[in-house]
A and B are shown apart, each in its own frame.
Chain A
């Protein structure tokens, strides 16, 4: 009787152990696939982001180029050509002493 009980218990333990192994294998494979997928997706996303950043940088560089060319164009002669007139007899208003008081 005792042998029969032991045999049944061993059989039960083996079955549980086997189930655990299968579960662990599936878990490991699933985790591996999940993390690999995430890594690949993130890598692709990163590459796309780098491309977007490079595109934005290019746009920014183009804007800076035009900024510098405009900077050279904006001078007094250009202002005069647009009708700018020098101010004569400038008067300034001033107030002696401090204005703000604690």
Chain B
């Protein structure tokens, strides 16, 4: 080999050697000298983030113009952690950081005394400014790590619908409401894992090779925050004034089953759910509790009898103020008789004897059939968790009195949502629709799954519903002497006052359930409102307790949705 070639080979060899040496040196620097630094950094990015960092889809409210407003989202901030053995002067460290953030002194010193513990968290949810202030202190053994948490900017608004995310064992999961029902959608396949950029690329490649996975998505509710806020403020005021045990309200589009607002009082702030002592507040009574609804049942009984051509609004009977069945006396609310009255008066004056008459004209078999078709014995399949079916087993009895009491809303118990769907059939031409609070799901990959309105069945003829809407319109116009009649708008409505039951027995005194439903405009309704109050104090009838808030809500909705007058 020639000298020239040897020299060149040596030159290349030296270059490769130097390059290798440089790589080795860099490796030594990174792996040995800066090991702790990069190890901390990597942990903070990769391991340390879980469960402090987690991905979860948002939940949105939807305004009437389609604008989305966050109901549940992810908030980012920082946590402060200590390496106890590196803290040489705990008192000084405590004094410095407690000037910037709230730190519990006892807890701080308890943690700092765990000298063998490599990592102790002392404060959470710091914002950017607080983080910068802490960093400026430059304290050895003090670390700041990014963290994120579920945040509900609307606080109590629609809390029973949205629910919250909480720990179950060691996992962060949706616990109630939409957070629970759509947990799989919101968290997607990645769940709580948060990985760095390179790991994310690798995980995506892996996912593609495996054939993809479940994308996480955001849930868009049909709840309009403006309407929800108005409904909540109105029923809260009523709840406070009447010192009730519980109050609730729901506004639905009766034609599509789209729920625009759903409120329960008292409620809770999902940001601080751990501070709530009474866990029954997390339950949504609209779908998870059953009640004997009382007189709002009467329009459904009369509708069924009219639908079968057994009676008309002009059909009359003689009201003695009571009716004796199976050796039981069933009275009107005031135990007074009105003599010869027609079906319109039965609704106007809420006569129990009239509802019994209508049921008797219809017959037990047909009455039971209509009750089942209204959906009272089954679930509505609403997209909220924990729904229960109504209790209508009393109608399997052969005793006449069971059917008589059921005709005016006693002895059968149903969820408010089931009652609302049944009443919606009076407003929408006779259809039972599936109620929903989710408008659409927006997946990360861009897919959008919309909730289509679903008609379950037709239970009443259109003509029957038109007759009932007219009758109920007269009812609303006559409530409390007609003082709540709305000029230029027809409103169909009915009140209900039912005795509360406990352990199978009716409670005496003020232990009542007040209910109210109404829709407007009567013959082409844009919304149906349902209100209830449990045990309001100092007021006997729902016509007094719930007509004023219903009237306020109806006027608001007419203005908000710019509904043209119909009379």
Contacts and interface: CB of A to CB of B under 8 A. Distances in A.
Interface of A: 11, 14, 18, 21-22, 25, 43, 46-47, 54-55, 57-58, 60-61, 64-65, 67-68, 71-72, 75-76, 90, 92
B487 interface: yes
8 contacts: A11-B2, A21-B12, A55-B128, A72-B233, A75-B233, A90-B488, A92-B488, A92-B565
Nearest to A47: B197
Given A61-B151, A64-B153, A90-B487, A71 B225 contact: yes
B225 A68 contact: yes
Interface string B296-315: 00000000000000000000
Nearest to A88: B487
Contacts of A47: 197
Contact of B8 (A18, A25, A67): A18
A58 B70 CA distance: 12
Contact of B73 (A14, A61, A67, A75): A61
**Most-contacted residue by chain B among A21, A64, A90 (CB, 10 A):** A64
B470 to A, nearest CB: 21
Given A11-B2, A21-B12, 5 more contacts: A58-B127, A64-B70, A92-B488, A92-B564, A92-B565
B479 interface: no
B397 to A, nearest CB: 49
A25 B16 CA distance: 10
A25 B127 CA distance: 50
Interface string B528-553: 00000000000000000000000010
Interface string B1-21: 010010010001000000000
A61 B233 contact: no
A71 to B, nearest CB: 5
A60 to B, nearest CB: 8
Contact of A64 (B69, B127, B233, B487): B69
Interface residues of B, number: 27
Interface in B283-323: none
Interface string B228-239: 011001000000
A21 B8 CA distance: 12
Pick the 10 closest A-B CB pairs, nearest first: A64-B153, A71-B229, A68-B154, A54-B76, A65-B153, A92-B565, A64-B70, A43-B197, A61-B153, A64-B69
Contacts of A75: 230, 233
Nearest to A54: B76
B347 interface: no
Given A54-B76, A61-B153, A72 B229 contact: yes
B157 interface: yes
B63 to A, nearest CB: 10
Contacts of A72: 229, 233
B75 interface: yes
A54 B77 CA distance: 9
Contacts of B197: 43, 46-47
Interface in B483-509: 487-488
B226 interface: yes
A19 to B, nearest CB: 10
A22 B488 contact: no
Interface in B68-85: 69-70, 73, 75-76
B155 interface: yes
Contacts of A64: 69-70, 153-154
B485 to A, nearest CB: 14
Contacts of B5: 14, 18
Contacts of A58: 75-76, 127-128
B3 to A, nearest CB: 13
A17 B474 CA distance: 103
A25 B15 CA distance: 11
A68 B379 CA distance: 33
A22 B226 CA distance: 72
Contacts of B127: 58
**Most-contacted residue by chain A among B75, B153, B197 (CB, 10 A):** B153
Interface string B403-415: 0000000000000
B186 to A, nearest CB: 17
A60 B565 CA distance: 38
Contacts of B225: 68, 71
A61 B229 contact: no
Nearest to A89: B487
A61 B8 contact: no
Given A46-B197, A90-B488, A61 B75 contact: yes
